[in-house]
Amino acid sequence: MANLLRITDLSTTELEQMVHLAESIKADLKSGGTNTSLSGKTLGMIFQKPSTRTRLSFEVGMAQMGGRALYIRDEEIGLGVRESIADVARVVSRYVDCIMIRAKKHNDIEDLAKHATVPVINGLSDQAHPCQALADVLTIREQCTSKAPKVVFVGDGNNVFVSLANACIMLGYDVVLAAPKGYQIEVPGAAFIENPQEAVKDADIIYTDVWTSMGQEDERDARLAAFHGYQVNESLMALAKPTAKFLHCLPAHRGEEVSNGVMEGAQSVVFDQAENRMHAQKAVLARLIGGI
Ligand code: CP
Ligand code: NVA
């Protein structure tokens, strides 16, 4: 793996190894260990959209491993506007050991990766969120006893769904998307069921994300109407297995895609999931630039 732009940049074996590495990095940290495998390394982080988890988890993860991270706002570098993407890629590569980028257009990340001479990590695009999916798989493995859990994503067939579905299918999980017509997306191996009540039957994991992603604000009214009836609330959770867990990549819009009761309920593991972003990304960094 030279870059991590999509989950499918990893082979199934590489994905399994990455998750195992994340598990051992997490266990080591929890038992008081120190890991300085990124000593002297610098991660450049370019953001064209806001972030809480992605920025903090990469920044703290780098620091914990002895390296450092630079937060670069697109307002400063003007990707493709002040300077061409190809030139930015070649310049930034001369200073840092790895680039993480959150961009509006996935193709811009591909372009940056093509011209960069250091590894590039996708920190969210309109098409994919591979770092999120690694944390999600780590969380599912911690929370589920089943080796082949049924993962039901209720809501928009978006960037988060695509990466989650790719990862889960590679690991042999059963993946279902419950979305209204017009908001489905084809991911080979994933099933589509329009009716959310039917889709969540026997689910081990129920996952949702916002109905209006960053950059789709103009579509908000149409989306609120289209997703009416797709809220993950207590009645929908009751149709899944009693042991089912609730996941959300966050930030959540309570009262829209998820009820406050489910977010705060006993089945919700969303904050463990958020924490796992850091452990998963430390594994990615260790693989890409830590010689592990
Ligand atoms: N889940 C996620 O990527 O969160 P941020 O947008 O806060 O980084
Ligand atoms: N689908 C959301 C995920 C945010 C982490 C978005 O793209 O805004």
Asked if residue 261 has pLDDT above 90, the reply is yes
Ligand that comes closest to the CA of residue 216: 2
Dist. CA 193–CA 179, nearest whole Å: 7
Q: What is the pLDDT of residues 164-176, one digit of tens each?
A: 999 999 999 999 9
Give residues (CB < 6 A) around ligand 1.
Answer: 51-54, 124, 132, 249-251
Residue 158 contacts by C-beta under 8 Å, 6 or more apart in sequence? 185, 209, 213
Q: What is the pLDDT of residues 65-108, one digit of tens each?
A: 999 999 999 999 999 999 999 999 999 999 999 999 999 999 99
Same fold for the pair 7-129+277-289 and 130-274: yes
Catalytic residue selected from 108, 136, 204, 209? 209
Classify domain 130-274 at the CATH class level: alpha beta
pLDDT score for 292? 87
Domain 7-129+277-289 has CATH 3.40.50.1370: yes
Ligand that comes closest to the CA of residue 271: 1
Give the domain ranges of the chain.
7-129+277-289, 130-274
In this prediction the pTM is: 0.98
Mean pLDDT of all residues in 189-205: 98
Task: Provide the mean pLDDT of the chain.
Answer: 98
Asked if residue 1 has pLDDT above 90, the reply is no
